[in-house]
Structure 1
Amino acid sequence: MLDIKWIRENPAALDAALEKRGAEAQSSRLVALDEARRSHVGLVQALQERRNAASKEIGKAMAAKDQAAADALKAEVAKLKDELQAGEAKERELDEELKHALSVLPNIPLDEVPLGADEADNVEVRKVGEKPDLGFEPKEHFELGEALGMMDFERAAKMSGARFTILSGPLARLERALGQFMLDLHTGEHGYTEVNPPLLVNDAAAYGTDKLPKFGDDLFRTTDGRWLIPTAEVPLTYMAAGEILAEDELPKRYAAHTACFRSEAGSAGRDTRGMLRQHQFSKVELVSVTTPETSLEEHERMTASAEAVLTRLGLHFRTVVLCTGDMGFGAQKTYDIEVWLPGQNAYREISSCSVCGDFQARRMNARSRKPGDKATRFVHTLNGSGVAVGRALIAVMENYQNADGSITVPDALRFYMGGLSKIEKTA
Structure 2
Amino acid sequence: MELFWMEHKKLWRKRIVKISVLLCFVYTVIFGGILSFQWFGFGSSDDYTSAFGNNFDGYTVIRDSQQYSLSFGGELTDETLQQLVSDYQRMESAGMDRELENTDWQTVNSWLGMLYPELRDPGNYKTMICYVDPSRLTGFYERRQQAIDEFLEVSGQTGAEKEYLHQMERKVEKPFRYTWVEGWSQLLGSMVADMGAVMALFLAVILSPLFAGEWHDNTSALVLSTRNGWGRVAFAKILTGLAFTVELFALLAVSSIVAQLFFMGTAGWDMPIQNIKPIAVAPMNMLQAEIYEYAFALFGAIGFAGIVMLISAAVKNNVPALLLSLAVVYGPMMFSGYLPYGLQRALDLIPLVGSSTDIFRTNTFHILGRFIWSPNLLITVPVLIGILCMPLAVKGWSRRMKA
Q: TM-score, normalised by structure 2?
A: 0.24
| Structure whose residues are more often helix by fraction | 2
Q: TM-score, normalised by structure 1?
A: 0.23
- Structure with max Cα Rg: 1
